[in-house]
């Protein structure tokens, strides 16, 4: 009774008829279902009107999301950050390897060490021409520079590490697949979860970021992917007056 149920039955339409006739090779095949566990998808079938309403509400909510560089130091409960991380961890990944590790800290000493190390790298980027003139010109409207005080002021820092490969109990390497793509999707889920919780963040990538392995004591098979300061915005925070691309600039539709 405790074993996971195995399914290879036909999918059915709303009227109870089989939909498998649409597929010459339905998934899972009987052979696959005999070897590996499958469960029936839990899915709420929504009306067209409800789909449109939910999608519009979600779009409008995310459209108010902005990157923030002026954080309040107001404490945020750890369980809220953990819930957002678990939402991020529901992201799809190559071969379901889930090649990510989220390291969260509100320790003042660790945050200060991260700030100082990040500013050292960014000083080289901005002031010693590691970033070329074209790159800096593109960043000019945002007003970014090597000062990263928010890393110390924001109540939480969360670093997403990509797991380049897994490590078995005997120390051998376990290959992971589509690591960067998987972590990129997880990062997007995390940003959306934080925004839905009423929190703000910033995707910070002070290249190179290897110092984060040392500060946060992470193993060699992990590599920093992106650093997120997380918290509420400081009262009166301003953001650049920029626009997002219109639908006709991002959507290409072919067919009916």
Average pLDDT over residues 234-249: 95
Spatial distance between the Cα atoms of 107 and 157, rounded to a whole number of angstroms: 9
Cβ-based neighbour number of residue 147 at 10 Å: 13
256 band by pLDDT with thresholds 50, 70 and 90: confident
Q: Please determine, for residue 251, whether its predicted confidence score (pLDDT) is greater than 80.
A: yes
pLDDT of residue 133: 87
Output the CA torsion sign for 133, 135, 137, 140. Answer: negative
Could you tell me the domains of the chain?
67-234 (3.40.109.10)
Enter the tokens of residue 37.
């566990």
Over residues 97-111, the pLDDT tens digits come to 999 999 999 999 999
Over residues 5-47, the pLDDT tens digits come to 433 344 555 544 456 678 889 999 999 999 999 999 999 999 9
Q: Please determine, for residue 158, whether its predicted confidence score (pLDDT) is greater than 90.
A: yes
Spatial distance between the Cα atoms of 203 and 226, rounded to a whole number of angstroms: 6
135 band by pLDDT with thresholds 50, 70 and 90: confident
Output the CA torsion sign for 204, 206, 209, 211. Answer: negative
Over residues 170-213, the pLDDT tens digits come to 999 999 999 999 999 999 999 999 999 999 999 999 889 999 99
Beta strands in the chain (DSSP E): 100-105, 156-163, 165-167, 173-175, 200-201, 222-231
> DSSP code of 5?
P
Q: What is the pTM of this model?
A: 0.89
């Amino acid at each position: 009774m405790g074993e996971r149920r195995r399914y290879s039955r036909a999918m059915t339409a709303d009227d109870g008829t089989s939909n498998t006739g649409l597929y010459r090779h339905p998934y899972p095949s009987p052979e696959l279902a005999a070897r590996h566990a499958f469960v029936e998808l839990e899915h709420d079938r929504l009306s067209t009107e409800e789909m449109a309403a939910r999608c519009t509400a979600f779009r409008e909510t995310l459209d108010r999301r902005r990157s923030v560089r002026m954080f309040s130091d107001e404490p945020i409960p750890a369980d809220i950050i953990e819930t957002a991380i678990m939402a991020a961890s529901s992201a799809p990944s190559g071969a379901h390897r889930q090649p990510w590790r989220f390291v969260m800290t509100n320790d003042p000493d660790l945050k200060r060490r991260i700030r100082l190390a990040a500013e050292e790298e960014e000083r080289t980027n901005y002031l010693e021409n590691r970033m070329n003139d074209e790159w800096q010109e593109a960043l000019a409207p945002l007003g970014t520079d090597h000062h990263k005080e928010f890393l110390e002021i924001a109540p939480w820092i969360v670093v997403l590490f990509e797991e380049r490969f897994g490590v078995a109990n005997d120390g051998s390497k376990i290959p992971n697949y589509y690591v960067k793509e998987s972590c990129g999707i997880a990062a997007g889920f995390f940003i959306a979860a934080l925004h839905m919780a009423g929190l703000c963040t910033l995707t910070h990538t002070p290249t190179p970021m290897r110092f984060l392995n040392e500060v946060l004591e992470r193993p060699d098979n992990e590599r920093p992917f992106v650093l997120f300061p997380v918290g509420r915005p400081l009262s009166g925070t301003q953001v650049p007056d920029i626009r997002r691309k219109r639908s006709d600039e991002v959507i290409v539709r072919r067919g009916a």
